[in-house]
Amino acid sequence: MTGQDLAASLTTYAASLLTALTPERREAFLLRVERWAPDLLEGLAVFDDEAVRRGTAERLVGVAARAYAARPDDLHTLDARRLLRPGWVQDPGMFGYACYTDRFAGDLAGLERRADHLERLGVSYLHLMPLLEPREGDNDGGYAVKDYRRVRPDLGDRDDLRAVTTMLRGRGISLCVDLVLNHVAREHAWAAAARAGDPEYRDYFHVFDDRTVPDAYEATLPEVFPDFAPGSFTFDDELAGWVWTTFNAWQWDLDWSNPAVLVEFADVVCDLANLGVEVVRLDAVAFLWKRMGTSCQNQPEVHQLVQALRATTRMAAPAVLFKAEAIVGPRDLVAYLGGSEGGRHVGRVSDLAYHNSLMVQVWSMLATGETRLARHALRALPPTPPGGTWITYVRCHDDIGWAVDDGDAAAVGVTGEGHRRFLSDWYAGEFAGSWADGLVFQANPATGDRRISGTAASLCGIDADPGAAVARVLLAHTIVAGYGGVPVVWSGDELALPNDQHWAEEPGHEADNRWAHRPRVTDDHLPPAPGSAADRVLGGLSHLARVRASLPSLHASLDPEVLDDGLDDGVLGLLRRHWSGTVVGLHNVTAAPRPVALSLLADLGLATPYDVLGEAPLTADADGLAWLPPYGAWWVVDR
């Protein structure tokens, strides 16, 4: 069968599934199948066998058709709205917040009480950390899911989730939730069936009888949790074999070369979509495909699988967007927005991806007080694929890994290894003169790797010097908000909360200091006392969100140009040329005032420079220099 014939037969098949719908509604679905079947089939080329491809395509269209038929009316309306405004997530008014539901609001129902806080901050996008039912005991912050169809019982149930998405949407907030798709908990029904000896489910996992194959893989596999989960395979007595466990021993990697796994997850995504979830975060997506002799990350098949999943979701629920969680090196990032293999997947995989490189460079600039490496690294990035949008962030719920490219480092006269070591020392507070108060996560003596945990305020030295720390926290967020994309603030950072000193006291958390930077936000924190550090950061961030929303040039479709010539080394300059006018963001990453020549701005077309953040014109001294205050930022327009 040709691709075209196959696409046509899928449409006929879909029609047969939807006879109970009105002709209009059936027609709308069939148009989507016609539109997205080619994407689906291209993605399914990941499977070698033609009969497997055909069967899987049919099963996926079946999943989509059933979800479509069950989709509530208000969500059909949402689909229609989004299809009329496909670039909605690129709007400068997008401003995100991420939190654990229980740590921020107690439970799902409690979110309503926190909605005013989110509104004050200017939030239009909320990422709730894993909320599906995890295994009992330690579950990696919910990233070991036992049942994808149930909500974590202490947070509420599916009805509560549905109510939350509706409540949020009423306030102009889109909900993003995690889809943990690289692995399931050892207690998940699939893993339980595999353990009970069911061969069908054993095939959902990578299981090996002895160490031969695992040893061969491990020769090139980096370790994610060398401290508390060394190695990437775990012997399981019930399986009588070694199962692939990239993360913890009780997180079993799924075998995505088995098409049944793809069909299962398509069904899970459609289910979340029908609960009103608008953005699905593809957790640890880089790890989905394994290839001997590689790091088993960023393999091309990952993008094919995501494309197939995406095409299926688009048939059922076109409002839903995908966000790739791929915390990878700078050169590998754009692939997740479709930019691999000559852009073959542009517009067909994830809409959003984490700008891990920008995050790392923000911390590097603050520690060194200079911008040369950041300029070089950011300028060296390939252009963002069209339609792709970055999640820009200062830090997240995970540790910070120093993804500094060796070539970028060498270009500015340092070594990658030396600079990474410096950053770990600095943020662990071990380097002379450091104000930072972070914790070392997963030191790996074999590689010298030392990742860092800490809240933004603690990494910025809130204990050593609150005034400077507030300025640094605000500056860091100003850089990421001015870069483009969707800036996301991690819970607690908007209130300058320090590391949770009691993180290790919670059962199951004692070995994982990422809990130090997942502090609880309680009623005592809200609203913060006027003039406090919390109040200043919250006020600063909400001002930032509002200024940003007023600038069409902050639309995410525009990549900023990182300025180089003529700027002081302590200043990061981001130029955005847009039909609405040019904006130049200037950010002083040092503790001293830094000069900016107004002639430079005039050359860029800003003859009467005006700072929209401080709402004041820039004034020059006798030498034609304007002085950017310590850790200050100006977003300059011509006025």
| 354 lies in the site for ligand GLC, by CB under 6 A | no
Say how many C-beta atoms besides its own lie within 10 A of residue 147's C-beta.
16
Q: Rule CB under 6 A: is residue 79 a binding residue for ligand GLC?
A: no
User: Can 559 be counted among the known catalytic residues?
Assistant: no
Please give the structure tokens belonging to residue 534. 């919390």
Annotated active-site residue in 278, 283, 559, 568: 283
Smallest separation, CB 451 to ligand GLC (Å): 6
Query: Is the bond leading into 498 cis (omega within 30 degrees of zero)?
Result: no
Sign of CA dihedral 423, 424, 429, 430: negative
Q: How far is the CB of 204 from ligand GLC (least distance, A)?
A: 17
The yes or no reply on residue 280 touching ligand GLC (CB under 6 A) is no
Q: How far is the CB of 129 from ligand GLC (least distance, A)?
A: 8
Residue from 99, 132, 284, 541 binding ligand GLC (CB under 6 A): 284
R_g (Cα) of the chain, nearest Å: 25
The number of beta carbons lying within 10 Å of the beta carbon of residue 219 is 9
> Across-strand partners of 490?
98
| Residues 212-231 contacting ligand GLC, CB under 6 A | 224
DSSP H or E run through 540: helix 533-549
How near is the Cβ of 206 to ligand GLC at its closest, in Å?
Answer: 16
CA angle at residue 190 from 184 to 193, to 5 degrees? 135
Q: Does 583 engage in binding with ligand GLC (CB under 6 A)?
A: no
Nearer to ligand GLC, 451 or 587 (CB): 451
How many Å apart are CA 158 and CA 151, to the nearest integer? 6
- Which one, 62 or 141, has the nearer CB to ligand GLC? 141
Among 272, 327, 439, 637, binds ligand GLC (CB under 6 A): 327
Distance CA 344, CA 413 (A): 36
**179 lies in the binding site for ligand GLC (CB under 6 A):** no
- Give, as ranges, the residues between 399 and 418 that touch ligand GLC (CB under 6 A): 399, 401
Q: How far is the CB of 357 from ligand GLC (least distance, A)?
A: 12
The SS3 of residue 391 is strand
Residue 247 makes contact with ligand GLC by CB under 6 A: yes
335 near ligand GLC (CB under 6 A): no
Rounded to the nearest whole angstrom, what is the least distance from the CB of residue 298 to ligand GLC in the complex?
Answer: 11
Nearer to ligand GLC, 358 or 538 (CB): 358
CB 48 within 8 A of CB 56: no
Question: 105-111 long-range contacts, Cβ below 8 Å, gap at least 24?
Answer: 107/154, 107/155, 107/156, 107/160, 108/151, 108/155, 108/156, 108/160, 108/161, 108/163, 108/164, 109/156, 109/160, 109/163, 109/164, 111/164, 111/167, 111/168
The DSSP call for residue 73 is: H
How many residues line the site for ligand GLC (CB under 6 A)? 14
* Residue 569 burial class via C-beta count within 10 angstroms: exposed 0-12, middle 13-18, buried 19 and up: middle
Task: List the x/- string, 103-142, binding to ligand GLC by CB under 6 A.
Answer: -------------------------------------xx-
Which is nearer to ligand GLC, 79 or 332 (by Cβ)? 332
Catalytic residue among 325, 370, 500, 559: 325
Region binding ligand GLC by CB under 6 A among candidate stretches 56-64, 398-406, 521-529, 585-593: 398-406
- Does 339 help bind ligand GLC (rule: CB under 6 A)? no
50 is catalytic: no
**Residue 283 interacting with ligand GLC (CB under 6 A):** yes
Residue with Cβ nearer ligand GLC (230 or 605): 230
For ligand GLC, give the closer residue by CB, 140 or 568.
140
| CA gap 76, 92 in Å, rounded | 25
336 in contact with ligand GLC (CB under 6 A): no
Contact of 265 with 278, CB cutoff 8 Å: no
Min separation Cβ 384 and ligand GLC, Å:
20
One-letter identity of residue 503: W
CA distance 354 to 490: 13
Catalytic positions are 283, 325
Site residues for ligand GLC per CB under 6 A:
140-141, 143, 180, 224, 247, 283-284, 325, 327, 398-399, 401, 451
